[in-house]
Amino acid sequence: MENVIFSEEIYREINNLKVPSLIAKKLKGYSTEFKAAYNRYCNKIRNRKFRGDKNTEINERRREERARVTSAEIRPIEHKVAEIDLAKVDKTAKRGYKKVGALGVEKLKESTKSNYKAVIRTLYSKYKKVAIEEENSIMRMLEGERYNANEIYRDFKFIIVEIEDIAKNNGCYLSNIYSIFSLFKQKRLMGIRDAIYPYFRAQGEQYRENRHNNKINEEEIRKISFKEEDIERSIKGIEGEYNRLLYALMLKLPTRRLADYRNMKISLDNPEEKDKGYNYYYEGKLYINNTKNKREMVQDISGEEMIKRLIGELPENTRYLISGEEMYSQPKLTKIFGRITKGIYGTRFNARDIRKISATESYNRIREEGGIRRFKEDAKNRGHSVDEALEYVLMGVGETAPNAVN
């Protein structure tokens, strides 16, 4: 093996021996250059782990500070859901699966993989008190690489023991960790999935029962106007052509999810035969292919002069409609939109807030002539079914929307 070139794959193979004497014996068969490369890589891993442990402490302090700042902020709409009553969780609940085993990591979007990795890092550091190595098998699995199921079980069996604490104190991770462990076909790893499921199910039921349990700050909501002249006035105070367009898209059109615009490209020719993994703007139309509810549609906005004008003001090399050459990450786009609304209204509105206010405005005009047709059309253009649109309506907010479009 004198001529073997060092690689991460061979490193993992040797390192998985775990016993130092076995590793030393294995290395004897390799060249001096290989052993030097192996040792350098070991040092790199140790240093990364040390930095990771320090970053875990730093990130925990940052999360606490963000939570403190967030709790002090005025919220236009605050969704109130009571904690899961752990005593009432049916721990025998089992889900019927149409097909046993992996659902296909290759079908995951890059943004979903990124989100899953972030959840894994956070949860692992919270309960194991150290940072997870980026070469850990669960990270390799998410990249579609070969992985060691026994290693994943060893590192994450704590979930079975700590599931009640996770549900009580870190419930925001339940959905993601359930989805992650639903990717596996190995029996013990499916056991982790099955341990999570009763709490994931209880959380979903709790959310559905309390979907309309919103604490609504009507004074803040009244700041939002969908009138063209008010939108134009607000746009003048926004810096950056992409930010101005993003704001107009979210307020002037029936409010779609931010993600629908995040991956929207400007097309120079008819995009009907192009990659369906992206959405497109072409000649006054939005081609929606990649969206949460999987419903493809073409939205004609040729009559929206404000939107077309703002698109015309974008730099010539614009590739992505709201970000230019590169596509924003979802967290970055969320922050940008929050900063835009904070700058205009003095209060941070997220996209979901605007979607709810927009759906409510449309619903409150339903008795007018053509109101039902318009409500259905607006729902479609938001990427909703009628039933989904009704779920977004803020019940109890005035019958006449404060800043409705005339």
pLDDT (tens digit per residue) in 152-172: 999 999 999 999 999 999 998
| Any domain includes 373 | no
What does the pLDDT read at residue 323?
95
Q: Which of the residue ranges 12-21, 37-46, 148-157, 324-333 has the most confident prediction, judged by mean pLDDT?
A: 148-157
Claim to verify: residue 128 and residue 205 sit in the same structural domain: yes
What does the pLDDT read at residue 174?
94
Least confident of 80-84, 177-181, 249-253, 262-266: 80-84
| Any domain includes 191 | yes
Region for residue 347 given its phi and psi (left: phi exceeds 0; alpha: psi -120 to 50; beta: otherwise): beta
Claim to verify: residue 113 and residue 20 sit in the same structural domain: no
**pLDDT tens digits along 277-322:** 899 999 999 999 998 888 899 999 999 999 999 999 999 989 999 9
On whether the CB atoms of residues 91 and 174 are closer than 8 A, the answer is no
Claim to verify: residue 319 and residue 203 sit in the same structural domain: no
On whether the CB atoms of residues 133 and 151 are closer than 8 A, the answer is no
Claim to verify: residue 323 and residue 282 sit in the same structural domain: yes
What does the pLDDT read at residue 292?
83
| Any domain includes 355 | no
Claim to verify: residue 66 and residue 103 sit in the same structural domain: no
Q: Which of the residue ranges 20-24, 119-123, 307-311, 363-367 has the most confident prediction, judged by mean pLDDT?
A: 307-311
| Any domain includes 382 | no
The more confident residue out of 396 and 69 is 396
Of 247, 289, 251, give the one whose Cα is nearest residue 267. Answer: 289
Structural domain count, the chain: 3
Chain centroid to Cα 141, Å, comes to 19
Instruction: Decide if pLDDT at 219 tops 80.
Output: yes
Claim to verify: residue 275 and residue 336 sit in the same structural domain: yes
Domain boundary among 294, 317, 347: 347
Least confident of 66-75, 126-135, 266-275, 367-376: 66-75
What does the pLDDT read at residue 403?
52
Claim to verify: residue 38 and residue 135 sit in the same structural domain: no
| Any domain includes 196 | yes
What does the pLDDT read at residue 42?
87
Dihedrals φ, ψ of 131, to 5°? -80, 145
Q: What is the DSSP letter of 278?
A: S
Instruction: Decide if pLDDT at 70 tops 80.
Output: no
Q: Is 329 helix (H, G, I), strand (E, B) or coil?
A: coil
On whether the CB atoms of residues 177 and 196 are closer than 8 A, the answer is yes
End-to-end CA distance of the chain: give it in Å, rounded: 79
Domain boundary among 176, 209, 242: 209
Average pLDDT over every residue of 3-17: 84
| Any domain includes 375 | no
Dist. CA 148–CA 334, nearest whole Å: 35
pLDDT band at 43 (very low <50, low <70, confident <90, very high): confident
| Any domain includes 86 | yes
Average pLDDT over every residue of 66-87: 74
pLDDT band at 405 (very low <50, low <70, confident <90, very high): low
Claim to verify: residue 10 and residue 108 sit in the same structural domain: no
Claim to verify: residue 193 and residue 114 sit in the same structural domain: yes
**pLDDT tens digits along 249-281:** 999 999 999 999 999 999 999 998 899 889 999
**pLDDT tens digits along 349-376:** 999 999 999 999 888 888 777 888 888 9
Claim to verify: residue 103 and residue 205 sit in the same structural domain: yes
Of 246, 248, 273, give the one whose Cα is nearest residue 262. Answer: 246
Of 266, 116, 98, give the one whose Cα is nearest residue 180. Answer: 116
Domain boundary among 72, 104, 135: 72
Claim to verify: residue 245 and residue 161 sit in the same structural domain: no
- E strand segments, 204-336: 214-216, 264-266, 279-282, 285-288, 297-300
| Any domain includes 405 | no
Claim to verify: residue 173 and residue 230 sit in the same structural domain: no
Domain that holds residue 9: 1-72
